[in-house]
Chain A
Amino acid sequence: MTALTNRYDFALFFTVKDGNPNGDPDAGNLPRMDPETNNGLVTDVALKRKVRNYIAMAKGDEPGFGIYFTERAVLNTLHKKAYDALELKPESKKLPKKAEEAAQITGWMCRNFFDIRTFGAVMTTEVNAGQVRGPVQLSFARSVEPVMPLEVSITRSSVTNEKDVDKERTMGRKHIVPFGLYVVHGFINAKLAEKTGFSEEDLALFWTALRDMFDFDRSAARGEMAAQELVMFKHDSALGNAQAHRLFERIAVLRKRGDEVLPAGDERTHNWPPARAYSDYDIRVDDSALPSGVTLLRPWSGAA
C-alpha cells in the first residue's frame, strides 16, 4: 500500500442517450434540471452510488474492499472475511481514552471499507473523531448544453390487481433525456488520503470505477450512459500547484456541425440541430503554459 502524494483535480465527461441519468424526487422523477438554464443535473451522491456498486461488484468479498452503504441486501455476508490480519484486537485497557478509542474505530472502518476510505462517513461516537472526511470530493454533474427531457407514455398489457382484470392494459410513463453530455468536477486530496489510508492502489481502482461504472448500472430507466472522457490535472505536491478552477477553465467543450466548430452554448449554435451523439462534441484542453508542477493526463483517449 503506497500512500498518495499528489493532489488531483479531474473532470469526468459522460453521456446519456434516451435515458434518465438522475430522477428528481420533487418533480415526479423527471430528469433533474437547473430551472434557470435548463441544463441537466446529476447529483454527487448519484455518482458515488455507482462507484460503490462497481467496487462491490468488482471486488466481491476481497478483504479491505467492503462497501458499508450497500444498496441491496448483501448475500453471502457470512463468507466475508474482510478482517485485517494485521489488525490487533483492541485491548480492554483500563479506562480507555475516548479519543483513542474513536480513532481506533474509525481506523478499523477505513481499513475494511472502501467507500468510507474514499468518501468518508459519519460515525456516532461521543468524541468528534468519529467523522471521517474522505479524500475524494465530487460536485454536481451538469450538462454542457440545455437538455430537453421527454415524457414517454408506455403501455403494459398485463394488470396488477384482480379488480382491473377487465381493463386491457395499463399506462405508465418514462422520462428520458434524448441526449446529453454531462461534466462533473472532482477533487482528490492527498492530505486527507493520509488520514483514511486511501492508497495509490485505491486510486487506480477509483479511476477504473469511473470508467466502467455505467456499464454495470444498466436499467430500464437509465438508457445508454457512458463515461466518455477523463481529464486529470495531476499536481506534483499534496497541497497542489495551481487553483482548481483555473485548471478547469482550460477545458473547452466544442460543438461540431460538419466543418464548423463553435463553443458549446454559443449563440450561433442555437439554431443548429440538437446534439444527439458524442461525436457532435469535441473536448479540447489548453495545455499551453501549464502551471509548473501540474501535469495534464487524459488516460482514456491516449492524448496527453
Chain B
Amino acid sequence: MSYGIKLLIKGDYACFTRPEMKVERVSYDVMTPSAARGIIEAIHWKPAILWVIDRIHVLAPVRFENIRRNEIASKIPASNVKTAMKAGSVAGLHLNVDEDRQQRAMMALRNVVYGVEAHLEMTPKAGPEDNPAKHIEMARRRAEKGQHFHQPCLGVREFPADVTLVEGFPETALPAADRNRDLGWMLYDIAYDRGRDALFFHARMEDGVIDVEKARQAGLAR
C-alpha cells in the first residue's frame, strides 16, 4: 500500500529559476521537483512528514516569455535594524528604491499545465500519533476542498498556481516531437540537513513524463 497523491497544477506564468541564471532569471523548461514539493507543502505539511516527488507530467507545450521589471539591488541589512532597535527609532531606517534599483529580466514560462505524482514518507520527528495514512488523507481532503496554508505558486509568488486533486491526468497537449527530451542536469532539491547543498538529477522526459523516482535510483549529483 503506497500513500500517494496526484495533483493537476496549472498557471498562466511560471518561473523555475535556473540556479546558474539567477540574476536575469531564466526558468527551467519544466517544473523542478523542489517547486512541486513546495506546492504540496503549501497544502499540507508537518515536520513529521516528507513529500517525495515521483513523476512530473508535462501536459502543455513549453513556451517562454520575457518580462523585465524594476527590482531593488539589496536586502535589508540586519546590522542597520539592530542599530535602530537599540536606538528605539526607525529614523533613517528605510531604503530609497530610486537609488538602489536594478532592472532585471525574467524568462518565464507561459500557460503551464503539470501533473505531479508524489508520496509521503515519515521523518524521525514523527510521533506515535503520526502515520502516513492520516497525513495523506489530510492532504487529499485539503486539496479537494481547495484549502491551503498559503497560496501555492509556480516558482515565484507573483505566479499563483491552480491546484486540483485528480485521480488521473488529462490528455497531454505537448507536441509529439517534444515528448522525448534530455533536459540535462536539473535542480532536484536543496538538502537543508547538509548546509543547504543543492542536489541535481539528470532529467529525462520520456513520453512527456519526467520520472524523478527512476532518476533518484540512478543517483543524485551534489
Contact = CB atoms under 8 A, between A and B. Distances in A.
Interface of A: 24-26, 32, 34-36, 43-45, 66-74, 77-78, 80-83, 87, 89-90, 102, 104-105, 108-109, 112-113, 121-125, 130, 133, 137-140, 142, 185, 187, 189, 191-192, 237, 239-246, 291
Contact of A139 (B86, B94, B147, B160): B160
11 contacts: A36-B63, A45-B158, A69-B94, A70-B96, A71-B97, A71-B98, A80-B91, A123-B77, A133-B150, A139-B12, A241-B146
A124 B150 contact: no
Nearest to A238: B149
B157 A137 contact: yes
A201 B81 CA distance: 25
Given A90-B85, A140-B12, 5 more contacts: A45-B69, A68-B93, A69-B97, A77-B91, A130-B78
Contacts of B147: 237, 239-241
Contacts, number: 149
Interface residues of B, number: 50
Interface string B82-126: 100110111111111110000101000010000000000000000
Given A24-B68, A66-B90, A239-B147, A36 B162 contact: no
A108 B86 CA distance: 11
Contacts of B157: 133, 137
Given A25-B70, A36-B110, A239-B147, A123 B81 contact: yes
Interface of B: 10, 12-13, 63, 65-72, 75-78, 81-82, 85-86, 88-98, 103, 105, 110, 142, 145-151, 153, 157-160, 162-164
B148 A240 contact: yes
Contact of A192 (B13, B76, B150, B164): B150
B78 A78 contact: no
Given A109-B81, A244-B151, A244-B160, A81 B95 contact: no
Contacts of B81: 105, 108-109, 123
A81 B150 contact: no
A291 to B, nearest CB: 8
Given A43-B67, A122-B76, A82 B90 contact: yes
Contacts of B146: 240-244, 246, 291
